[in-house]
Amino acid sequence: MAIKEFKGANDLGSRDLFNSRVLYEGYALNPYGRRAVMKKIGVRDFNKYSNIFYGKYPFNSTTVLKPKSSLLVTRNKHYMFDFVAMAMDEMLANYERARIARTLNESDRFLFSPTITAGYVDLDSLYLSKLRSFRALFTRYLTIHNLKHQIISFEDYMNAFKEYALSIVQNNPLTRSQFILSRNVPVLCTGLSVQISNKNASKDQPKIDEYYKSPNFEFYRNSAIGYGFLIDKNVPWILTADLGSPQMRKYLEQSAASTNLLNGNFSSAYDEVSTNDIETIKTQLINFYADFVTRNPYYRVTEQGAYGSESCAKLVRRQPGAGSPDSVRRLRAKYTYDYWIPFYGDIRFAESGLDADLATKDFVINNALQINEKMGSIEASRYIQRKTFNIIAVEGSLMYESKKLDAKDLTDTSNSDILDVVRKEVINDKFELF
């Protein structure tokens, strides 16, 4: 059977608002070519291609977004956009009619009577948890390498932190802009998704047995399509609004908060993430240092003994009050954006995975410093975000998978080589013109 291309949840056409890829129906070979697999309309793999970033940035843009919390509504004590709530209300009402008409299999524990068990996951809370984890990893690094006694000043702390961060941020992002694009941030953070069960998504067989082989699955899938949702292939109990489907469009048209999404005006419903990145990093790292000083009030110094005498080590108290609120205020005043913009630029390039040379990085950072002088830190942040934004040169992207299919020998080494080629193409395209 030939692969048939559809747009949106059916073949009626769609408006691609969040880089939504077409869906496919028919048979295709799996990556290993062992057997044919069925790809169903209405089921989306959110771990592949641009689906990884669905609902996190607008198509043809480098702006990373998060929902405005004031525009979210509740259903069953869980938050979501109002148009998502309206679509779910009607979908669940349709389920109720089917139960009354006895067209559903009552023995099905999961898809006979679905109910909303989760909605919007607050991105800011998730990110603060991520930063706490990052601080704990850095503290462990200092302990393992016996570096705590080498940190006497804030500059010492930042030098050690930057060296450590640059070594891990490509796989463990520090900034909120990159964090939201990672697989660690679920689609529930977009405000476009709802969850109808609390199950462990790490085990595949129960998904197949309890959902895909469920006697009610086809009704569930048709309901999702009919009310403008996509089923997450890897977590089939999560439904995500298909902004490109005509079924969801009618709820968007009724939406008081997000009607402008139909015209691509995302500012009406979303906040831009990168504009606060530098200030957030500044605040958190100064607080990290204050916490470090509070927990480690002394450092060790070694005094060389006189002739015939042994050297000795002694503990010296760090500057009293170095972790106090007054000290934090002084650090904030002393270390201005001229200090933090270069730090942020280096981190963003490392996070992006783009193999930019030193001259390219310096070029971007110097431009960002000039933009900060004339237009402020927000525009400087946006500029760095544009130059480091990368959703193409990553594993799983469409370009990566296309080049992988063309490769003859898919060893680990060749996979790495493919990614290097993609990164070079992206960086050359990004910096061909200023």
The pLDDT of residue 113: 94
The pLDDT of residue 48: 75
**Cα distances (Å, whole numbers) of residue 413 to 26, 227, 234, 406, 416:** 33, 45, 28, 15, 5
Long-range contacts of 323-328 (CB under 8 A, 24+ apart): 323/289, 323/290, 323/291, 323/292, 323/293, 323/294, 324/290, 327/290, 328/286, 328/287, 328/290
Contacts of 16 (CB under 8 A, 6+ apart): 59, 244
Read off the pTM. 0.78
Q: Quick one: pLDDT band at residue 54, thresholds 50, 70, 90?
A: confident
| pLDDT at residue 19 is higher than 80 | no
The pLDDT of residue 58: 78
Q: How does pLDDT run across 311-339, given as a tens digit for each residue?
A: 666 666 777 666 788 889 999 999 999 99
In Å, how far from its chain's centre is CA 167? 19
Domains in the chain, start-ordered, CATH in brackets?
50-121+190-264 (3.30.1380), 123-184+274-388 (no CATH)
In Å, how far from its chain's centre is CA 431? 24
Q: How does pLDDT run across 371-401, given as a tens digit for each residue?
A: 999 999 999 999 999 999 877 645 555 555 5
> Taking the alpha carbons of 273, 277, 279, 282 in that order, is the dihedral positive or negative?
positive
**CB distance 8 to 245 below 8 Å:** yes
In the numeric block, which tokens belong to residue 71? 């525009």
The pLDDT of residue 424: 58
Q: How far apart are CA 243 and CA 54, in angstroms?
A: 10
Average pLDDT, integer, range 142-160: 93
The CA R_g of the chain, rounded to the nearest whole Å, is 26
The pLDDT of residue 268: 75
Q: How far apart are CA 352 and CA 177, in angstroms?
A: 10
| pLDDT at residue 29 is higher than 60 | no
Q: Quick one: pLDDT band at residue 299, thresholds 50, 70, 90?
A: confident
